[in-house]
Amino acid sequence: MNPLFEKIAQFVKNNCQADDYTLNISLGDSHETRFAQNGITQHIAGPNLSINLEVAFGQKTGSCRVNQADEETLKYLIQTAQDIARYNRPDPEYMPSVGAQELPKVDNSDPETRELEPEKMVEIVSESIARAKAWDATVSGMTEKHLWEVGLFTKNGFAGSDTSTNFGHSMTLKKGSVETKVSYSAKDFGGFSLEEELDRLGSQADSLADLHDFDPEKIPVILRPSAWEELLWFMAWMMNRRQSDEGFTPYTGKLGEAFFGPKFSLRSTLKEARLSALPWDMEGIASKEITWVENGVLKNLPTNRHWAKEKNIEPLSVYNFFIPGDDVSEEEMMAMVPRGLIINRFWYIRTVDAKAGEFTGMTRDGVLYFEDGKVRHAVNNLRFNEIPHDATRRILALGKQELTSSIGLMPSLMIDGFNFVDKTSF
C-alpha cells in the first residue's frame, strides 16, 4: 500500500470524532499528448491527488474533498465534513460504513504501461502524423497514459488499495469529405500496435470515399464492437434494481425471465486478464463473478446497499462488461441477409422513453452499405430510435470478442431490423 495512503488514513483515524466515516483516496499520474491538423498541440502531465471524507453522526452525514495531504489540509477536511454533518438533516437511507472484507486478488497494473516514456508517446503521434501526410490527409487525436492508485478506509475496519494503468491512442482522419476515427484503450500498452491501428484507419477511410445517399429504414445491421459498447452503456444505466422495483425501467418484474434474446449474455468478471476489475465498489463491497444476463434470461440487476437491505438481497455492482461472442466473420454475416449496413460507432445517444428503454442517437465515423454479401459503398449518417434489450432479441449472429476499453470485451453483433428514422448531415 502507498505510504501516503497509510499516513492519511492514520491521521483521519486519530482525529475524526464522528460516529462513522468512509475515506476515499485517489492518486493519479497522467500524460496526455494532444495533436490536431497534423501537429502536436499540447502535452499535459502531472499528479492529481483527491481525498474525500464522508462522516456521520447518527444518520446525519457530511462530506468534504481536498487535493493536498499536509496536516493543516487534513484537519480542514475532517472539521468541514463534521461541521456539515452536525448541521445536516438525518438521511433516512444512511448505511453504516462497511467492515473488513476478503477482497479478490486482481492485477490491474501493466508494467509496460507504467514504464512508457513521454518520448515514446510523441514518437507514436509523429508516426501517426507522417502516415496521414503520406495519405494527403490530416489527423487529430490524443495519446494518453494514466496511472492510478486508489484506497478505501472506514471506521468499521475496511482497508483496501489498488493500482491500475491505462493506455489510449485515438486518431480521427480527415481527407476531403471523408472523416473517420479509430481508437485503442486498454490497461496493457503491450497489446497496442500502431501499424494495425493505422491500417484500420486507412481501410475505413478508403471504404468511405464512395458515398451514396441512403434513406432511413428498418434494416439489418452489423454493429462493430465500439458501436455496441456505446449503446450498452445506456442500457446498463437503466439496469438498476431499485428503479426497476419502483416501476421506472423496462426491467420491472423481469428478473428470472427471458427478457433479452437467447444469443445475448452479459457478465462482470474477475477472470479475464485483459479487463480491469476494481476489487471493490464505491460502497466497499468486494467484487465477485456476476452474471447479469445468461442466454437471454435476466439474472441480476445492480443494487446498492440500502436497497439490498430493504429487499433482503445481496448488493451488486457492475465493474466491467464481458459479452461472449462467436467466430462469425463480417463476410459470413453479410452473406446471411440480402442487404444491410455496417456501423462503426454511435454518438449523441439520448433517452426517448426511460420506462420502455428506448434511445435515440446518430451514427458516426462511417456507415457502409452491403448487398449480396459484399460492401458496395458508404452512405450518409443516420439517426436511430431503438430499444437495446429488444434489439438483442433480433441478434442473427455474433462475431469475435474485441477489447473496446479497459473494462469492455465484446463482439460485433448482427441485428435484424434496426430502426433508422432520419438522415443526419454530420
Percentage of the chain exceeding pLDDT 90: 98
The residue extents of the domains of the chain are 3-200, 210-426
The radius of gyration computed from the CA coordinates of the chain, to the nearest angstrom, equals 24
Query: What does 366-377 look like in DSSP terms, one character per residue?
Result: EEEEEETTEEEE
Tens of pLDDT along 48-71?
999 999 999 999 999 999 999 999
Task: Enter the C-alpha cell of residue 247.
Answer: 416501476
Assigned CATH topology for domain 3-200: PmbA/TldD fold (3.30.2290)
pLDDT on residue 116: 96
CB 12 within 8 A of CB 128: no
What is the reported pTM? 0.93
Confidence (pLDDT) at 1: 80
List pLDDT tens digits, range 205-242.
999 999 999 999 999 999 999 999 999 999 998 999 99
- For all residues of the chain together, what is the average pLDDT? 96
Contact 300, 313 (CB under 8 A): no
β-bridge partners, 66? 51
Q: Tell me the per-residue pLDDT of 327-376, one tens digit each, with 9 for 90 and over.
A: 999 999 999 999 999 999 999 999 999 999 999 999 999 999 999 999 99
- pLDDT grade, residue 96 (50/70/90)? very high
Distance CA 242, CA 207 (A): 45
Return the closest-CA partner of residue 229 out of 369, 73, 401. 401
User: For the chain, how many residues are written?
Assistant: 426
pLDDT at 426 over 90: no
Give the per-residue pLDDT at 128: 98
Distance of alpha carbon 71 from alpha carbon 286, whole angstroms = 31
Report the alpha-carbon distance of residue 125 to residue 78 in Å, rounded. Answer: 44
For residues 386 and 397, give the distance between their C-alpha atoms in angstroms, rounded to a whole number.
Answer: 18
